[in-house]
Amino acid sequence: MVKGTYQETPEPPFTLGLEVAGTVTATGPDVDHLAVGDRVAVYGGHGGLAEEGVFDAIRAVRLPDAMTAVEAAGFQIAYGTSHVALDHRARLQPGETLLVLGAAGGVGLTAVEIGKRMGATVIACARGADKLEAARAAGADHLVDAETDDIRESVKALGGADVVYDPVGGDQFTAALRACKPEARILAIGFASGEVPQIKANHLLVKNVSVLGLYWGGYLAFRPQVVTDSLATLIGWYADGKLHPHVSHVLPFERADEGLELLRTRQATGKVVIEMPS
């Protein structure tokens, strides 16, 4: 979004910060499902790195008492993206094999956790021992080191992938495509590598592979019930103790630039949260 290459970029100048958690201080005249004092999380798209914000009330989700503001600030996009992708788009089934690329990142860890929750065998691919340990702790059954292992051969040795969750793109997409089982589904989530893969359509025909795009925020514009239903499921899972959000860094507002640099350099595992002055 900073570089202007994200799929949804506001006209500059604008305030960064995709999602927030906080307390409602005022509501509009037609808002009847929220009240002043309610603790909520909001996906705003931008405007989050501020002490106050004005957001559409329809995007506000009331929080369970047990969920902290830090957990809530990084919950909706990461868990929502993975749940809508795996459940609504890929129709992941119990017993299938799920390959998660970028498995220690903000969305990758939630894909590992949700995939395991849905009954899949999860192969986690990430760079280095520390990131792989985070994926293992989230429930991964098998680990592939993107720095040292041959992704294609490692996944094929494990029987191949029925579903690929790819927030990375680039060469990892190509390797994963070549490790797919017949009728596999590849979820194009994002391009953290900086390289958008160019797919040769004839390669998809050999094994009848499907490539499915997923932009979670896009559903808010044309089919918001998908997001609403997904978040209701996820909040329920959290309340039942079945989800465990991972936040690797919590930084004060004055160090927000450091938080962005952690994302640019792919040093974070899970989410990076910025706290506002009290």
Helix (H) / strand (E) element for 62: namely strand 60-62
Helix or strand or coil: residue 104?
coil
Q: How far apart are CA 144 and CA 103, in angstroms?
A: 10
pLDDT score of 267 more than 90: no
The model's pLDDT over 185-196, given as tens digits with 9 standing for 90+, comes to 999 999 988 899
Mean pLDDT, residues 44-63 taken together: 90
d(CA 203, CA 200): 6
Residue 37 CA to residue 26 CA, distance in Å, equals 9
- pLDDT tens-digit readout, 105-161: 889 999 999 999 999 999 999 999 999 999 999 999 999 999 999 999 999 999 999
For the domain spanning 19-76+220-275, the CATH number is 3.90.180.10
| Contact (Cβ atoms closer than 8 angstroms) between residue 132 and residue 104 | yes
Angle among Cα 24, 29, 35 to the nearest 5 degrees reads 30
Which CATH architecture group holds 78-217? 3-Layer(aba) Sandwich (3.40)
**Structural domain boundaries in the chain:** 19-76+220-275, 78-217
